[in-house]
Structure 1
Amino acid sequence: MRLSRPSRVLLGGITAVILAIVYLPLLVVLLNSFSTSQNLTWPIPGFTLEWWGKAFQSQGALDAVLTSVQIALLSTTVALVLGTLISLGLSRFDFFGRDAVSLLVILPIALPGIITGLALNNGFRTILGVQLSLMTVVIAHATFCIVTVFNNVIARLRRLGTNFEDASADLGAGLWTTFRLVTFPQLRSALLAGGLLAFALSFDEIIVTTFTAGAGVTTLPIWILNNLFRPNQAPVVNVIAVVLVLVSIIPIYVAQKIAGAEKVTR
């Protein structure tokens, strides 16, 4: 489809405005992390690396990073296992209510985070009588991380079809052998992409975390929220925010490169 020159100019202008709205505030955060001012000011009065040094010496921030990494790794692992099993069940078997199950799997990522967090909080504390802790956060994050793995894996399974698996079965291989030698090698890149996206989604999640974290659990996003308006903490918070952005971008970039490589090879 070819667009006229006025249409291209209009589309380019709209795109530029949207990108500016999204990314200019991030640029302000980046510049404020090097500001000599102890408050959030614009334009910044000068540049310094002092806050970067203090940020990497902050024990509270380092502990929060470690907690976020632990939660993200655990929830991603759970999502990889359950998301793969659900994908195999829904793509390879026909049963009553399959479409309903598929909808229920995808629904958590479509629901507002505050609704999911409130529901899980009530479920843990009221129904199950479980104290909120790091593991309740892991379970809560896994509910929406499963969706990213599920979407990647089931899309790959649908493209692959069942020819190779049927051939493996005809040659006498069992279900586990077929999965290990035939299905899994073809799913590795989809699992890696889904796992990276799940990790990024869990690492910077705050709404569901707020409702499901115990008193002693402080993830990096919660640490940022708690310290944002404390005296002399704004520049350090900006540094941590920049690090959080970078950590979130890397898995998404790698996942996109994997998906792009898959398209080229196919």
Structure 2
Amino acid sequence: MHLNRRSRIALRLAMALGLAVLYVPLLVVLLNSFNASRSFAWPPTGFSLRWWQAAWQEPGLRTALWTSVRAGLGATAVALVLGTMAAFAATRYRFFGRQAVSFLLILPIALPGIVTGIALNAAFRTVLTPLGIGFGLFTVIVGHATFCIVVVFNNVSARLRRLPGSGEDASADLGAHTFQTFWYITLPAVRGALFAGALLAFALSFDEIVVTTFTAGPGTQTLPLWIFDNLARPNQGPVVDVVASALIVLSALPVWLAHRMSAP
């Protein structure tokens, strides 16, 4: 498609405006983390690194960070196992209700987080509480896994659709059993998609707040919950900016790696 000069300029301006709406607020947060003022004053009254040092010395922050890491790793592990198995079942086999199963697997990522959180909260109170299992890290991992499975399922399914079955057929013809074929033929071909799905799943779990609010117990606080609780506290604004700035960098890295790994 050929565009005239005015159309190209208009498209470039629209793209620049869209990128500005997305990334200028992030840049403001990053600059405010070096603000010498104790408030969200803009423009910055001066530049200082003391808020980065103060954030590192926050004991509650370190505890919340470790909780988020454990929840993210747990949800990612569950998503890798279940999402990969579901992707192989929906892509490599034909059975009654296959499309319905695929739809049900993808649906959680489209549902509003508050709907998922309320549903999980009610389910946990009905099923787990009578068994003596209260709200805590386990329920957070289960809640996060519900939407982390989707990204693994989508990544692995997309890779399997582009992967011809001739290699697996040849391996079977040469006498390899199912697990040998998977280990030597299929796994190397989908390894990039698995890695990309794991990175995206961890990133989604790490910054989730809505579902976490309904599934975390009183003593379980992830990093996003810590940020939300400290956002309105006096003199905590600069520390929150520091944490948000660090999360911007940490969140961008796995997304970039996942994009590189999932590219054909």
Query: Same fold by TM-score, threshold 0.5 exceeded?
Result: yes
Q: Residues 39 and 238 of structure 2 are in contact (CA less than 8 Å); yes or no, is this contact kept in structure 1?
A: yes
Structure 1 runs not aligned, ≥5 long: none
Deviation string, structure 1 residues 113-144 (Cα, Å, up to 9, x no partner): 11011110111012442421101000111111
- Distance in 2 between residues matched to 1:235 and 1:224, nearest whole Å: 11
- Distance in 2 between residues matched to 1:135 and 1:2, nearest whole Å: 55
Q: Residues 68 and 206 of structure 2 are in contact (CA less than 8 Å); yes or no, is this contact kept in structure 1?
A: yes
Secondary structure at the aligned position of 1:36 is classed as coil
Where does residue 32 of structure 1 map in the other structure?
32
- Distance in 2 between residues matched to 1:243 and 1:74, nearest whole Å: 22
- Determine if the alignment matches structure 1 residue 173 to structure 2 residue 185: no
Where does residue 48 of structure 1 map in the other structure?
48
Where does residue 157 of structure 1 map in the other structure?
160
- Distance in 2 between residues matched to 1:161 and 1:259, nearest whole Å: 17
Amino acid in the other structure paired with 2:161: R
The Cα of 1:259 is off from its aligned counterpart by 2.8
- Distance in 2 between residues matched to 1:128 and 1:91, nearest whole Å: 33
Aligned length: 261
- Distance in 1 between residues matched to 2:164 and 2:138, nearest whole Å: 37
Secondary structure at the aligned position of 1:188 is classed as helix
Where does residue 212 of structure 1 map in the other structure?
215
Task: Give % identity.
Answer: 57
What TM-score do you get using the length of structure 2 for normalisation? 0.97
- Determine if the alignment matches structure 1 residue 249 to structure 2 residue 249: no
Amino acid in the other structure paired with 2:260: K
- Distance in 1 between residues matched to 2:2 and 2:59, nearest whole Å: 56
Amino acid in the other structure paired with 2:252: I
Alignment of 1:1-266 (within 5 A): 1-129=1-129, 130-260=133-263, 263=264
Secondary structure at the aligned position of 1:215 is classed as coil
Secondary structure at the aligned position of 2:15 is classed as helix
- Distance in 1 between residues matched to 2:101 and 2:20, nearest whole Å: 40
Shift >3 Å, 4+ stretches: none
- Distance in 1 between residues matched to 2:249 and 2:205, nearest whole Å: 14
Amino acid in the other structure paired with 1:59: P
Q: Residues 128 and 134 of structure 2 are in contact (CA less than 8 Å); yes or no, is this contact kept in structure 1?
A: no
Amino acid in the other structure paired with 1:81: V
Amino acid in the other structure paired with 2:255: I
The Cα of 1:161 is off from its aligned counterpart by 2.3
- Distance in 2 between residues matched to 1:194 and 1:4, nearest whole Å: 40
- Distance in 2 between residues matched to 1:79 and 1:153, nearest whole Å: 11
Aligned Cα RMSD in Å? 1.0
Structure 2 runs not aligned, ≥5 long: none
The Cα of 1:185 is off from its aligned counterpart by 1.0
The Cα of 1:226 is off from its aligned counterpart by 0.2
- Distance in 1 between residues matched to 2:217 and 2:174, nearest whole Å: 53
- Distance in 1 between residues matched to 2:69 and 2:96, nearest whole Å: 39
Q: Residues 34 and 48 of structure 2 are in contact (CA less than 8 Å); yes or no, is this contact kept in structure 1?
A: yes
Amino acid in the other structure paired with 1:43: P
Amino acid in the other structure paired with 2:34: F
